[in-house]
A and B are shown apart, each in its own frame.
Chain A
């Protein structure tokens, strides 16, 4: 009578079908195609696009020779630190704020219109104002990333709380939950998948915003490496930075999916 997890229980023998082999191979084929494209473009137009060997050599050099006294991993850590701090603040502030908007109609009416006007302003448009107010230290960069990250969290949390199934609220009434119990044990868990989706969006947005912010004003970070490469006409460095951005961004995505598994175990059952 019990449905068994599709993947089968631990230790259970699972047959490998030809289709599984195809699924396994396809990502490598696409990666191979990109590498081939890179190779052909860089051999035909060597002055426009750096070759793979040049890029690799630049990466190796970057390990030996820090830029602005910061080693390669130091730049990655600098960007990551800004994103993590901004994300943490965005979650701590955005989830309760979104919950308030989704749960209380009056607050939603009060803040809703302001929020809808501020929302479409790209985080980078805040840079001039923020620089005037806070200078060019570490805090203004984190603040810009925070602005980008908090929006999707607030929006998703609010939407998640507004779409709680009436059925579950009825269960709250039938079992005499008070309003706080309904919020904490019914509404918020029910909105949790939406909240997590918001955090996922916030993570990718935050990662993009931090790089853009660093490109405009920073002495460290992966975004700074891009600008540095452009200014010094060092295209291999630009490519190293771009690939780094892509890989770290993808890893951040994996990390948020792991957090989702931890927080919403019931969604893993298929």
Chain B
């Protein structure tokens, strides 16, 4: 995985919000590189400003300072090459699974037969064959998040951002979905930026893990993780990495 070319450069990102108690600095001077086709995990305590950072990279909010450089060019607003799987699945309840997955190609003007055949591949990939005509309300939490992943993939992004996609799932489903994401990433290589507050999840998925401090989010340390895949969560190597990260993690105490 190492010695890859840099696809995305984050330079000195800074963002603050005005809250009840004056200005709140959410992200402070964050810089890092993202390599082509790597699985990068951003790990940090809850409420630490990770989502703010992702929303800046995805172009949903504008940074106060700093630059986001994709393939050597600065990004303004949302770049179609960056896709996102959202924390709350954000599936549209009035659209069926297929209609939700196909919005990317549809809004780009791809013809119906072509885009549905293309999207079917990703519905199959996430294991939802047969549920194309179901509405989101008919699916379980894990299935909804699979639809979210298929939807992001079907828009053919170079970089896929996943914002705590499994935060709302129960532990069993979460383990299953972690394995699914590792499998899907293996079959359909993309650069993935995966955000989580779960150390185990980070160690299981990441090629590299960037550990963030409590708010305002600043980088504490970057952990390379070259364990062979599929990873064993109870191996000695895994435990060692997990412990060293956990010893270095700030306690997430919500001070809002």
Interface set of A (CB-CB < 8 Å, partner B): 1-3, 167-168, 170-171, 173-178, 181, 185-186, 189-190, 192, 264-266, 269
Contact = CB atoms under 8 A, between A and B. Distances in A.
A167 B94 contact: no
Contact of A186 (B92, B137, B142, B143): B92
Contact of A181 (B86, B107, B135): B107
Contact of A190 (B59, B86, B94, B107): B94
Contacts of B59: 173
Most buried by B among A170, A181, A186, A192: A170
A186 to B, nearest CB: 7
Sorted from nearest, which 10 A-B pairs have the closest CB atoms?
Answer: A269-B137, A189-B94, A266-B135, A177-B107, A1-B140, A175-B104, A167-B90, A266-B94, A174-B84, A175-B103
A190 B137 contact: no
Interface string B209-229: 000000000000000000000
Given A173-B78, A176-B78, A178-B107, A189 B140 contact: no
B60 interface: yes
Nearest to A188: B94
Nearest to B137: A269
A266 B90 contact: no
A181 B106 CA distance: 10
Interface string B72-87: 0000001010011010
B103 A177 contact: yes
A2 B92 contact: no
Interface in B48-89: 58-60, 78, 80, 83-84, 86, 88
Contacts of B135: 265-266, 269
Interface of A is mostly: helix
Contacts of A176: 78, 80, 104, 107-108
Given A2-B131, A269-B137, 18 more contacts: A1-B142, A2-B134, A2-B139, A2-B143, A3-B138, A167-B86, A170-B60, A170-B86, A170-B90, A174-B83, A174-B86, A175-B104, A177-B107, A185-B103, A185-B107, A186-B92, A266-B135, A269-B138
Contacts of B60: 170, 173-174
A266 B93 contact: yes
Given A168-B92, A190-B92, A266-B94, A174 B107 contact: no
Nearest to B87: A167
Nearest to A192: B94
Contacts of A181: 107
A2 B140 contact: yes
Contacts of B92: 168, 171, 186, 189-190
Q: How large is the interface on B (under 10, 10 to 19, 20 to 34, 35 or more residues)?
A: 20 to 34
Contacts of A170: 60, 86, 90
A190 B91 CA distance: 12
Most buried by B among A3, A174, A264, A269: A174
A264 B94 contact: yes
A186 B139 CA distance: 20
18 contacts: A1-B143, A2-B131, A2-B140, A3-B139, A3-B140, A168-B90, A168-B92, A170-B90, A171-B90, A174-B58, A174-B78, A176-B78, A176-B80, A176-B104, A185-B107, A266-B135, A266-B137, A269-B138
B37 interface: no
A82 to B, nearest CB: 33
Nearest to A166: B60
Contacts of B80: 176
A185 B106 CA distance: 11
Contacts of A185: 103, 107
A42 to B, nearest CB: 50
A183 to B, nearest CB: 12
B123 to A, nearest CB: 15
A193 B143 CA distance: 25
A25 B205 CA distance: 59
Nearest to A182: B107
Interface string B114-157: 00000000000000000100111111101100000001000100
A175 B131 CA distance: 22
Contacts of B107: 175-178, 181, 185
Nearest to B152: A174
B120 to A, nearest CB: 18
